């Protein structure tokens, strides 16, 4: 997820003091400045699963919640969503969506390849529930339609920011595992359809020949402070 998107998810009118939230049915008072994940830890919960990068990139912290006085069910990633007073929370350790087994090396990027492994794509109702629930603001329904039409390149491009949280699948009335469909589309595109840069083979040969070994050794010998300084002062395009 881009930094701008992450910030937009977290940006809201600043609240001070504590708020009351409900975790797995129990009430807790937590600082209003915390994300859902940090609030749960503040309340004494220890994450043994359902947490990863903590930055909106891995999709491991899928969350379902309600707001006080609101009939809707909301979904989000716990690491990038701020707590609200009266929020009733539950964590999803994983989404039990079916994923077929295939060898990408034995596939061909034909119009029917995705349908072969995910025939349920043809059941798409175009309700757009998957797009509405996506914490990355991806147009999920669009890439499912591209997959149905055999437009693998467009499906891969549209789903590029997917972090495989699985929230789309739990809201889909057609029971399509959208994020697994997207994964296959991107794999097919990356292996068979994407045009490799002209310099790729040359750069790989340079790495194999050890051209950059001295540079790697120099970086490995630097302290954390020196690495941070080097990173901040790097040449930027």
Concatenating the DSSP letter of every residue in 14-38 gives: ---SEEEEEETTEEEEEETTSBHHH
Angle of CA points 59, 144, 94, to nearest 5°:
25
Of 60, 58, 191, 169, nearest in space to 120 by CA = 169
Domain membership of residue 85 as a residue range: 15-91
The whole-number pLDDT of residue 14 equals: 52
68 inside domain: yes
- Is residue 188 over pLDDT 50? yes
Q: What is the mean pLDDT of the chain?
A: 91
Torsion of CA 193, 56, 124, 71, to 10 degrees: -170
84 and 117 in one domain? no
Q: If you count them, how many residues does the chain have?
A: 237
Do 30 and 87 lie in a common domain? yes
Tell me whether residue 10 is in a domain.
Answer: no
The domain boundary, picked from 91, 113, 133, lies at: 91
Q: What is the pLDDT of residues 153-181, one digit of tens each?
A: 999 999 999 999 999 999 999 999 999 99
Rounded Cα gap, residues 158 and 97, in angstroms: 21
* Full-model pTM: 0.77
* Helix (H) or strand (E) run with residue 131 in it: helix 129-133
The string of pLDDT tens digits covering residues 102-114 is 999 999 999 999 9
> Of 181, 162, 168, nearest to 1 (Cα)?
162
Q: Are residues 120 and 153 in the same domain?
A: yes
Of the pLDDT bands very low, low, confident and very high (cuts 50, 70, 90), residue 49 is confident
| Cβ neighbours around 54 below 10 Å, total | 17
Q: What is the pLDDT of residues 51-85, one digit of tens each?
A: 889 888 899 999 999 998 999 999 999 999 999 99
3 within domain boundaries: no
Tell the residue number behind the tokens 């349920």, with chain if given: 120
Is 6 a member of any domain?
Answer: no
Number of C-beta neighbours around residue 200 at 10 A: 9
Residue 99 lies in a domain: no
DSSP-derived letter for residue 106 is: G
Cα end-to-end distance, the chain, whole Å = 21
The total of structural domains in the chain comes to 3
Q: How far is CA 184 from CA 121, 137, 163, 193, in A?
A: 13, 20, 14, 13
């Amino acid at each position: 997820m881009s930094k701008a998107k992450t910030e937009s998810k977290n940006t809201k009118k600043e609240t001070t003091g504590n708020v009351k939230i409900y975790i797995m049915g129990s009430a807790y008072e937590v600082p209003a400045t915390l994300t859902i994940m940090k609030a749960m830890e503040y309340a004494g919960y220890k994450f043994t699963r359902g947490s990863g990068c903590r930055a909106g990139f891995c999709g491991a912290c899928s969350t379902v919640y309600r707001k006080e006085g609101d009939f809707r069910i909301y979904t989000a990633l716990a690491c990038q969503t701020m707590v609200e007073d009266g929020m009733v929370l539950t964590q999803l350790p994983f989404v039990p969506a079916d994923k077929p087994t295939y060898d990408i090396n034995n596939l061909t990027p034909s119009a029917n390849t995705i349908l072969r492994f995910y025939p349920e794509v043809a059941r798409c109702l175009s309700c757009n529930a998957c797009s509405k629930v996506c914490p990355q603001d991806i147009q999920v329904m669009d890439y499912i339609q591209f997959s149905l039409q055999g437009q693998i390149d467009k499906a891969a491009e549209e789903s590029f920011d997917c972090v495989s949280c699985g929230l789309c699948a739990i809201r889909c009335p057609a029971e399509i595992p959208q994020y697994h469909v997207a994964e296959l589309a991107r794999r097919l595109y990356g292996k068979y359809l994407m045009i490799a840069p002209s310099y790729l083979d040359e750069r790989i040969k340079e790495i194999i020949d050890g051209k950059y070994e001295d540079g790697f050794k120099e970086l490995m010998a630097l302290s954390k402070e020196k690495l941070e300084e080097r990173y901040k002062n790097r040449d930027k395009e």
